[in-house]
A and B are shown apart, each in its own frame.
Chain A
């Protein structure tokens, strides 16, 4: 199972990096989502994998019979924050689309030069 998970993490990261480097806002946001998946699974895997050992305390179970609760707690925070970040990114994408009439991620050089020469 470790092999499957680590290869999935690899695939997510690769897809994320590739999409983040695309020139349009929407694909960048999708790329960030993939990076989030990769990082969340990576964090979970730091607790090592344990199947069928949920962290719900019940009587008569040894402490070693539970999964490590620390990585899931961290990942929960990570999910929430990345949700907030994704939301801001897409909204900025929309705003940018209407401001510039384009959803391209790069500032065109000519516009920037004009802005600088005005300073």
Chain B
């Protein structure tokens, strides 16, 4: 249980700092830190299990089991180490950021994003399900976008964030494809099970594809060559973000995944050549570029790229000892690099610049900061007795006996060159900033920072020294356990100590320090050469690619979508017809042998009326009222047609929907012109007519061919017919399907309808305000209006009809489960009766009579329907399973009520009923409100214009000023 909580705490807790910022910045920081600390404490409660009992705590909750996505977490050595790093360094970063961020920065947002990011990272390292892992993976891309672009007022921040998102997000897509293939081949989505199926995966024909896709994801995330370019741009982020994302977390996610999948992916062939080579190249290039950076964070960024390359290369070597070295270096790099980023932040914060050319001599002004930097840079350079030295020695040792394409020299040589550069840039960092004379032209006057900035890196520095001096106590057992969990086997017998005797690694180290010293002294001379070398600028290339893609898409969409709806509808319909016709052409055109239903006289009459009315609409569509009446005829006869083919519910629904639709369109015609002029050129009309005829022939022909054939496979109808009564408790099978078997569809459907009602309200409400309201008021009706706005006859008749209509509605509602009817039809009947009140007595009076809001009706309806469904879950059945029973009420005054059927579907139908009334009434009532604004009429308070009891003459209120 509480494994999931380690992830959920920061995720849900991310809201806290956003709220606590109102109580001040310290409270904000404290809330985030508490959340972080609790997650860390929870995590550490699992460490005894992993360390001493060698077990892996797991949890598994079913979620979407059918697609393999379940909530599955585990804590093994690798996950424990990464999660501790993420949460531990995260805590330090939270504290550091409190002092770092200025008063103008929205701190609540910052901590909120940071905790989301933290949750995503912890989620990656603890997931035991590949799809779950991918979700967290994407979440890190998104939340790191927010963090990198935190200073969104800076163009560099926005561009850097966008580039990082594009690169890591693109890699994420490849990775998704890769892990899905992997899971498919391994036949499980559970990581712990995938790890045991190496043979299955490596022997699969998909293995090369899987490997390439997964490596793409890992390399983009971990900034490996040639995807390294986003990392330096991401340095536009606030320094706490860089320290967190680019030392311990985000960029390590790729490394983590390489390590996680190492047991199944590693081999001496493709894996070695892809991973080790890319890692080596990245290590070398990163180290070389880092030497020539003037920006402290730029230098650290390229150094990070180089170190990530180093770790990748070690994993690529595919030997257990190399894995142990990689694991050890992950720990060491996180400690000294996070400390260095924080250090760069302190320098920037106090001296006002991070430019090496403007710095120097700070040792005398900021001694504490200088000591931190000294230890961290020497560890980064790989000098004893710090922890960086130990893992670097292990790396050199492994590299010294690894062959590449049969050559013994190539890897040791290149690795040594990279080490030389790494010593040189480390020296440049420390001596460039802190050594030399005190200058007088710093942008700020530097002095040691407040404690909040220097003690988090100091804690890390203590680790750097402690691990460096006593690795056997501090790190050895951890490295062994983590290595064992990476390789899924017994850990190699390694001993971490400072002096192993005179090994090749010591020689290489010596060359590195000597060479690095010389290189550092020559740095300014080399710089002049470096500046003259042509180098590709990743940003230019990236921008050109992005711009080209945007241009290309714009060209396509502009040529298709030029703003003419007629044009793109034509294109869409024409292409649908073309594609359908392509399939149609290969189909046997002869009609089938199914016995046909007889043609009767009423059918022919109906057909003539329907087709005739359709033609009338097509010919006279410019006379809109006329066309609307003809459309109504088509609708009415359609419902008769439904009755004829045994769809009684359909017919009832169709006729009630038809009435409401026609009312709605009539209301529309109140505003829109009643006539329109012919405007299309005749060739356009003929072209459209041609397309229409082809479409009609296609649709008609297709249904003819279909109807004359029997089903090609068994229909599923018998299931519904057989189970409607026993399973759903109703005899109206169509209704039972709607409220029970496919209740979830109906639930979605009423939600959509409710949304449509709200959308209509919003669209029309926009007309009732601002400049559009003015236009509405200026609008002149194009035909004369009747003087009698609220005819007395209609008022009286509708008033009498209302209770009857509601009674009919109730009747239809209650019989719905067993006989034709149901909530939807009942709602439309009641709506029509209600809307008649608006039509007869006007908006003002009617709106005063309505004691509830239609919005609430929509919400209430959806909630009731949902509650019915959840009720089933409470009873341990799937969502929306219906319950039904017979209830025999007690006799009342000797009257026997008989058996009454009670079904929970009834409550669901009530939800449908309320939602539909709400949506329909909201739309129509809003329309009548607009009408009042448009004709500038007074809002009537009485139901009739003239009160027959008062004998006053009717007032003509239709007059416009």
Contact = CB atoms under 8 A, between A and B. Distances in A.
Interface of A: 1-30, 33-34, 37-38, 40-42, 44-58, 63, 66-70, 72-73, 75-77, 79-81, 83-88, 90-95, 97-99, 101, 103, 105-109, 112
Given A48-B711, A69-B721, A21 B614 contact: no
Given A73-B734, A98-B779, A106-B566, A19 B621 contact: yes
B955 interface: no
Contacts of A41: 638, 641, 703
A93 B760 CA distance: 11
A11 B608 CA distance: 12
Contact of B824 (A7, A11, A76, A101): A76
A15 B614 contact: yes
Interface in B583-625: 594, 596-600, 603-604, 607, 610-611, 614-615, 617-618, 621-622, 624
A11 B611 contact: yes
B688 interface: yes
A95 B650 contact: no
Interface of B: 562-567, 569-570, 573, 594, 596-600, 603-604, 607, 610-611, 614-615, 617-618, 621-622, 624, 627-628, 631, 634-635, 638, 641-642, 644-650, 653-654, 657, 660-661, 664-665, 668-669, 671-673, 676, 679-680, 688-689, 691-693, 695-704, 706-708, 710-711, 715-718, 720-722, 724-725, 731-734, 737-738, 742, 745-746, 749, 752-753, 756-757, 759-760, 763-764, 766-767, 772, 775-776, 779, 818-820, 824, 916, 919, 923, 927, 930
A52 B689 CA distance: 37
Give 10 nearest A-B pairs by CB, closest first.
A10-B700, A14-B696, A107-B563, A84-B756, A6-B704, A18-B692, A1-B597, A13-B699, A67-B646, A57-B731
Contacts of A6: 700-701, 703-704, 707
Nearest to B731: A57
A5 to B, nearest CB: 7
B650 A44 contact: yes
Contacts, number: 319
Given A1-B598, A4-B604, A9 B691 contact: no
Nearest to B716: A70
Given A9-B700, A19-B621, 9 more contacts: A26-B665, A47-B717, A51-B644, A54-B820, A55-B734, A67-B645, A69-B721, A79-B657, A80-B653
Interface residues of A: mostly helix, strand, loop or mixed? helix
A44 B604 contact: no
27 contacts: A1-B596, A5-B641, A6-B700, A6-B704, A8-B607, A9-B700, A10-B701, A11-B610, A11-B615, A18-B688, A18-B689, A18-B692, A26-B676, A42-B699, A45-B706, A48-B711, A57-B721, A67-B645, A69-B720, A69-B733, A70-B720, A73-B734, A76-B653, A77-B745, A77-B746, A106-B566, A112-B563
A86 B494 CA distance: 74
A10 B720 contact: no
B717 to A, nearest CB: 4
Contact of B756 (A16, A79, A85, A97): A85
A77 B824 CA distance: 10
Given A73-B742, A107-B564, A56 B819 contact: yes
Contact of B734 (A22, A24, A76): A76
A50 B647 CA distance: 9
Nearest to A14: B696
Contact of B597 (A27, A51, A93, A97): A51
Q: Which of A9, A33, A55 has the most CB atoms of chain B within a 10 A radius of its CB?
A: A55
B613 to A, nearest CB: 10
A90 B67 CA distance: 40
Contacts of B563: 106-109, 112
Contact of B752 (A51, A72, A73, A81): A81
B212 to A, nearest CB: 39
Given A18-B688, A76-B824, A103 B621 contact: no
Contacts of B718: 63
A107 B566 CA distance: 10
Contact of B737 (A1, A10, A70, A99): A70
Given A56-B818, A90-B665, A2 B672 contact: no
A77 to B, nearest CB: 5
Contact of A99 (B717, B760, B772): B772
Given A1-B603, A33-B631, A73-B737, A25 B657 contact: no
Contacts of B664: 86-87, 90
A57 to B, nearest CB: 4
A108 B567 CA distance: 13
Contacts of B695: 13-14, 16-17
B717 A83 contact: no
Most chain A CB within a 10 A radius of its CB, from B570, B668, B699, B759: B699
A55 to B, nearest CB: 4
Contacts of A91: 668, 760, 763-764, 923, 927
A101 B780 CA distance: 12
Contacts of B767: 94-95, 98
A83 B722 CA distance: 31
Contacts of A56: 648, 731-733, 818-820
A101 B775 CA distance: 9
Contact of A2 (B646, B704, B715, B819): B704
Contacts of A97: 671-672
Contact of A15 (B567, B599, B617, B703): B617
Contacts of A38: 699
A55 B732 contact: yes
A101 to B, nearest CB: 8
B764 A44 contact: no
Given A56-B819, A70-B737, A84-B752, A10 B641 contact: no
Contact of A11 (B596, B597, B696, B725): B696
B887 to A, nearest CB: 21
Contact of B753 (A57, A76, A80, A105): A80
Contacts of A3: 596, 599, 704
Contact of B645 (A37, A49, A80, A90): A49
A53 B627 contact: no
Contacts of A1: 596-600, 603
A50 B594 CA distance: 12
A97 B763 CA distance: 12
B675 to A, nearest CB: 10
A73 B745 CA distance: 10
A2 to B, nearest CB: 4
A67 B634 contact: no
Contacts of B745: 77
A2 B603 CA distance: 11
A72 B649 CA distance: 8
Contacts of B618: 15, 18-19
A50 B617 contact: no
B703 A5 contact: yes
Identify the interface centre among A11, A17, A52, A76: most chain B CB within 10 Å of its CB. A76
A61 to B, nearest CB: 10
Given A1-B597, A4-B607, A97-B671, A21 B665 contact: no
Contacts of B731: 56-58
Contacts of A75: 647, 650
Given A2-B708, A51-B644, A17 B691 contact: yes
A55 B649 CA distance: 9
